[in-house]
Structure 1
Amino acid sequence: MDSLLLVVICIVIFALIFDFINGFHDTANAIATSVSTKALPPRRAIMLAASMNFLGALTFTGVAQTITSGIANPFDLENGTTVILAALIAAIIWNLVTWVFGIPSSSSHAIIGAIAGSVIASDGFNAVQYSGFISIIEGLLASPLIAFVAGYIIYTIIKIVFKNRNLAKTNKQFRRVQILTAAVQSYAHGTNDAQKSMGIITMALIVGGMHTTTDVPFWVQFSCATAMALGTSVGGWRIIKTVGGKIMKIRPVNGVAADVTGAATILGATLIHLPVSTTHVISSAIMGVGASHRVKGVNWGTAQRMIVTWVITLPVTALLGAIIFTGLQLLPFL
């Protein structure tokens, strides 16, 4: 078999593995609040998240095109297949490390940082398309802030509207509504997160001379949607525990506010073709809702630990991507 074709096949396999890991790593994003409030039993919540993730992943491709050509021009990369393979390995390693420790880090930050680092190691700093890269970073940084503020505002409005309602009856009603909001949030998650692997595979097909545009082939879209849905069905219980209970004590009304905030923020980013971290967005939405409910009720220590992980993910994965690229260069068939 031609060595270039073999490497591209390896990239496709690793990209689908990354998507699978992304699925179980980020399951908490969509269902942690509904599980913690007992709106849905865990197994049913996971199956709902998996099916809606799959549907969302089949709906859009704009974010995938941003990943394909927004960080570097795939048509100009000299060692394109090695760059992409190194980035995937780096992102997978980081995702698994943070999963083991139950830290809700960002798969988006991981893959974007790893791509940038391996591109720089291969072709230098000038190979990075800074206009596209900066836009991506701005989206990653702005979306959690937007989610925090929106969560605060939405929950404040809910408090005003339902201030004279019986608390027990209100929570029972919101528990039913939360099934719908969990489904919508799972759909939103699929529209954004699954596209990152689509973009990587499309990028690999371009640098391998097997594809001539940034349009995502349907087989790529379907494969990534399936991998993420399967990963989601496995579940990420360590991270569900962190997102669902260690940030704040979540009640159904809090969960609905957080779900609506997260879904709206993620879908908005998808519509303008920007990749965002669903982990950041949903965790920030929960913090915003918690701050509106009762500032002291938020476990800011857990929030601080999460933020530190968010901050270090980009530089750590960039360095890891560069190191792995250098190591792969020593292999004779790359």
Structure 2
Amino acid sequence: MTTALLILIGIVTLALIFDYINGFHDTANAIATSVATRVLTPAQAIGMAAVMNVVGALTGTAVAKTISRDIVAPGIAGDLRLVAAALVAAIVWNLITWWRGLPSSSSHALVFSLVGAGVAAGGWGAIVPKGVNKTLLGLVTSPVLGFAVSMILMGVVLWLFARHMRPGTVTRVFRPLQVFSAAFMAFSHGGNDAQKTMGIITLALGAYLGSTLDTVPTWVVLSCAGAMGLGTATGGWRIIRTMGFKVVDLKPIDGFVAELSAASIIEGASRLGIPVSTTHVISTTIMGVGTTKGYKHVKWQVAGRIVIAWVLTIPVCTALGWLCFRAAQLF
């Protein structure tokens, strides 16, 4: 067995570990609102999210192709150490933010760890503007859309239903609807997030084979879907508490609107090949829903901590990716 093959096996293993960590790190994205509103028990919510994450992960590869071809130039990305360094950096940041209970972006952690490793390997000229710009577009627009769409949709739903029904009736109507929206949220999360790992494994396979792969191998799709589903089943209770209980006091109607808004935005981004942060989107839809109740209904101090984690992810992961690649060059 050659050294290159051993490194490839190590990278695939690391990638699946990242995917697993992504699953339990981002469990809150799919189930925090349904747990907070008591529409589903924690066990029911996690089980449903795990299944729907796997199903969503099997529905496309557009985001995977962005990661594998449009972040780092193929000539530079051919170094297996670069891929390994990016994975290690992203895993480190995911574990730090998970431990602190901060819903940061696993997606942007991976992309900008890859950018940092790419800069260390070949300078800024090694970075492909197309993919990075697409990621930054998603970074900027998806939270804004999440906030705006959820506010508008909440206003429409309140006008159509809440003004004609008693609060107890509204809750009874929207409890089953929130089960649907939570499932849709888990589906969209699997469809966007699992593809990042598919992309990184495809990038490593291309580096090993000495050519860029045009398609994502089936075994890569299946293994990434399975790893994310398993991670989701493990749960991420620290972040669930932040997202579901500390930002806004939620009711089933609120959870339905927040999840439906977020899932629609994420699913649209997946079809366009844009790697977005499911964490960013669901966080801002929750804030948008809360704002319709009045400014004081959103706990802005907690929301501020979430924003800080978002802002820190890009420079920290770029630096970590750079450092990890420099360390890998010593071996």
The bucket for the TM-score relative to the shorter chain is over 0.9
What is the letter of the counterpart of residue 266 of structure 1?
Answer: I
**Residue 108 of structure 1 contacts residue 196 of structure 1 at CA under 8 Å; is this kept in 2?**
yes
Match of 2:73 in 1: 73
**Post-superposition offset of 1:132:** 2.3
Question: In structure 1, the residue corresponding to 2:164 is in which secondary structure?
Answer: coil
Give the TM-score, by structure 1 length. Answer: 0.97
In structure 2, C-alpha distance between the alignment counterparts of 1:65 and 1:324, rounded to whole Å: 24
User: Which residue in the other structure is 2:55 paired with?
Assistant: 55
Q: Which amino acid aligns with 1:125?
A: W
State the shift of 1:213 in Å.
1.9
One-letter code of the match for 1:117?
G
C-alpha deviation, 1:184, in angstroms:
0.8
Secondary structure class of the residue paired with 2:140: helix
The one-letter amino acid paired with 2:302 is T
**Cα contact 1:71–1:132 (8 A) shared by 2:** yes
SS at match of 1:77: helix
1:139 is displaced (CA, Å) by 1.2
State the partner residue of 2:236: 236
Distance in structure 2 (CA, Å) of the matches to 1:128 and 1:211: 18
- Displacement of 1:214 in angstroms is 3.0
Equivalent residue number for residue 292 of structure 2: 292
**Which letter maps to 2:260?**
V
Match of 1:142 in 2: 141
| CA displacement at 1:77 relative to structure 2 | 1.4
Matched residue type, 1:107: S
Does the residue aligned with 2:191 lie in a helix, a strand or coil? helix
Give the structure 2 partner of residue 131 of structure 1.
130
1:328 maps to amino acid? A
Report the counterpart of residue 305 of structure 1 in structure 2: 305
Structure 1: distance between partners of 2:205 and 2:309: 32
- Which residue type is aligned with residue 309 of structure 1? A
Deviation at 1:293, TM superposition (A): 2.1
Distance of 2:68 and 2:133 partners within structure 1:
15
Q: In the alignment, what sits opposite 2:152?
A: 153
Give the 3-state SS of the residue equivalent to 1:274 in structure 2: coil
Per-residue CA deviation, residues 55-95 of structure 1 (Å, 9 max, x unaligned), is: 00011100000011111123x11662111100000000000
Q: How many residues align?
A: 330
Say if 1:54 and 1:226, in contact at 8 Å, map to a contact too. Answer: yes
Q: Match for residue 280 of structure 1?
A: 280
Contiguous gaps of at least 5 residues in structure 2 = none
Q: TM-score, normalised by structure 2?
A: 0.98
**Aligned AA (1:194):** A
Aligned to 2:324: 324
Match of 1:90 in 2: 89
| In 2: Cα distance, 1:78 partner to 1:133 partner | 15
Determine what percentage of the aligned residue pairs are the same residue: 47
1:300 is displaced (CA, Å) by: 0.6
Measure how far apart 1:105 and its partner are: 0.5
- 1:183 maps to 183
Task: Give SS of 2:249's match.
Answer: coil
Cα 1:240/1:95, change in 2 over 3 Å: same
- Structure 2 residue aligned with 1:121: 120
Q: Which segments of 5 or more consecutive residues in structure 1 lack a partner in the other structure?
A: none
Are 1:34 and 1:182, in contact at CA under 8 Å, matched by a contact in 2?
yes
Instruction: Choose 54-63 or 124-133, whichever is displaced more.
Output: 124-133
Residue 164 of structure 1 and its aligned partner are, at CA, apart by: 2.1
Task: Check whether the contact 2:24–2:232 (CA below 8 A) recurs between aligned residues.
Answer: yes
- In structure 2, the partner of 1:248 is 248
CA contact (8 A) 1:105 1:310 kept: yes
Name the structure 2 match of 1:37: 37
Residues 92, 124 of structure 1: alpha-carbon distance in 2 compared, 3 angstrom cutoff: same
Match of 1:99 in 2: 98
Give the equivalent residue in structure 2 for 1:227.
Answer: 227
Question: What CA deviation, in whole Å up to 9, does each residue of 1:271-293 have, x standing for no partner?
Answer: 11101000000001100111112
* Partner of residue 21, structure 1: 21
Structure 1 residues 211 and 223, CA, compared in 2 at 3 Å: closer, same or farther? farther
Amino acid at match of 2:127: V
- CA shift at 1:173, angstroms? 1.4
Alignment of 1:190-201 (within 5 A): 190-201=190-201
What's the CA shift for 1:136?
A: 1.4
Distance in 2, Cα, partners of 1:233 & 1:244: 17
1:255 positional shift: 0.3
Alignment deviations for residues 165-197 of structure 1 (CA, whole Å, 9 cap, x no partner): 111111121111111111111101111000000
Amino acid at match of 1:86: A
- Structure 1: 4+ residue segments shifted above 4 A: none
Contact 1:79 1:122 survives alignment (8 Å) = no
